[in-house]
Amino acid sequence: MTPILLFEQSLNGLQFGLMLFLLAAGLTLVFGIMDMINLAHGSLYMVGAYLMATFAEATGSFWAALPLALVATALVGAALEVSLLRKLYERDHLTQVLATFAVILIANEGVRILWGSQSLMLNPPDGLTGPVQLPGGVQYASYRLAIIAVGAAVAVCLYLLVTRTRMGMLVRAGASNREMAVAMGVNIRRLFTVVFALGAALCALAGAMLGPILAVQVGMGENILILAFVVIVIGGIGSIRGAFVGALLVGLVDTMGRALLPIAFAQMFSPQVASNLGPSISSILIYVLMAAVLFLRPQGLFPARG
């Protein structure tokens, strides 16, 4: 156990947490404002990553492809909202879960048909493939540092958007009391479409940024969707601030657990047992955290509804 390992792991946790935040932010707004459980959120993440890989291939540049992928995925999200999800707002949660689960299956098969079942490769932009020297003599992957920067910038922008703009005010009004907002004459339909498209763009950003360190593949959205749900439950549904804190907590707990538990177990058990136990216990840790938060604060850490 060295300070360098701890420092590097905190950066890794921060990087993972910020990407989770991008997903959770869209999810929590949709859930909080529209009272809609959207399981297909992970599919938008997948579609975003595939579009990113396609545009990156076509343009030959990561940075040129990124805005294209964001806009395209936002359009896909808006189309999904207008064509299908709009019909589901008035239905109960079970119907929403079933319908959006169907969207997951359709999206997975659609992507398989369009892009094939092989995973696509997305390379980090030129100049970010190597390490950078951090103060204190620590080397860290420059691309992961870029992810942290992008994630932090988006978090600040979202914070400003929600707290400082008219649209943000409407979003907050919708999240804290939808009926009242409608009664006050807010065009809730347009707001929903815009929020949904924004959530889709954030998904695409996460998919595009994570693409080079993971793989662009069918079904990539499902695993991360569960984590995003954990994040919004911990943070409080409908709250951007909650999503931010929740995402960082989950990211840090998961990464620290993954690195430190095997070391702790290695002192006690054989390597194979330790490496079996380490990841499974560390993945339980997140849910233990969620259960503890639910027990102490059932509304989440920063509930949007007062």
Partner 1 sequence: MKTKSAVLAVAALFACSVHAANELKIGYLSTLSGPAGAIGVEIRDGFNLALKMAGGKLGGLPTEVVFADDTLNPETGKQLAERLIKRDRVNLMTGVVFSNVMLAAWPTIQAGNVFYIAPNSTPTRISGEGCNPRFVSASWPNEGYHEAAGHYAKSKGYKSAYLIAPNYPAGKDATSGFKRGFGGTISAEVYTKLNQLDYSAELAQIRAAKPAALYAFLPGGMGINFIKQFVAAGLSSEVPLVVPGFVSDQDIVRAVGDPMLGIFDTAHWSYDLDNDANRKFVAAFEKEYNRIPSVFAEQGYTTALLIDNAVRAVKGKIEDEKGFHKALMAAPARFKSPRGDWKFAHNGTPVQDYYLRVLAKDNKGRIVNKKIGTVMNDHVDFWAKECKMK
User: Which chain residues interact with partner 1 by CB under 8 A?
Assistant: 1-2, 4-5, 8-9, 12, 15-16, 112, 117-119, 121, 124, 129-131, 139-144, 212-215, 217-219, 255, 258-259, 262-263, 266, 271-272, 275-276, 279
Shortest Å, Cβ 154 to partner 1: 20
Shortest Å, Cβ 110 to partner 1: 15
Rounded CA-CA distance 181/163 in Å is 17
- With respect to partner 1, which residue has the nearer C-beta, 199 or 212? 212
Q: Which long-range contacts (CB under 8 A, 24 or more apart) does 137-145 make?
A: 138/4, 138/7, 138/8, 140/8, 140/11, 143/212, 143/213, 144/11, 144/12, 144/15, 144/213, 145/11
Amino acid at 268: M
- With respect to partner 1, which residue has the nearer C-beta, 9 or 177? 9
Rounded CA-CA distance 56/189 in Å is 34
Radius of gyration of the chain (CA): 20
Sequence-ordered list of residues with C-beta below 8 angstroms from that of 200, at least 6 positions apart, any chain: 26, 44, 48, 73, 74, 76, 77, 78, 80
Shortest Å, Cβ 215 to partner 1: 4
- With respect to partner 1, which residue has the nearer C-beta, 286 or 304? 286
Shortest Å, Cβ 269 to partner 1: 12
- With respect to partner 1, which residue has the nearer C-beta, 246 or 257? 257
Shortest Å, Cβ 222 to partner 1: 13
The HSE-up count of residue 13 (CA atoms within 13 Å, CB side) is: 23
Q: What is the dihedral of CA 235, 236, 241, 244, to 10 degrees?
A: 30
Computed from CA positions of residues 93, 245, 216, 262, in that sequence, does the dihedral angle turn out positive or negative?
A: negative
- With respect to partner 1, which residue has the nearer C-beta, 123 or 176? 123
Shortest Å, Cβ 282 to partner 1: 9
Residue 265 neighbours by CB distance under 10 Å = 18
Shortest Å, Cβ 47 to partner 1: 17
- With respect to partner 1, which residue has the nearer C-beta, 100 or 108? 108
- With respect to partner 1, which residue has the nearer C-beta, 10 or 176? 10
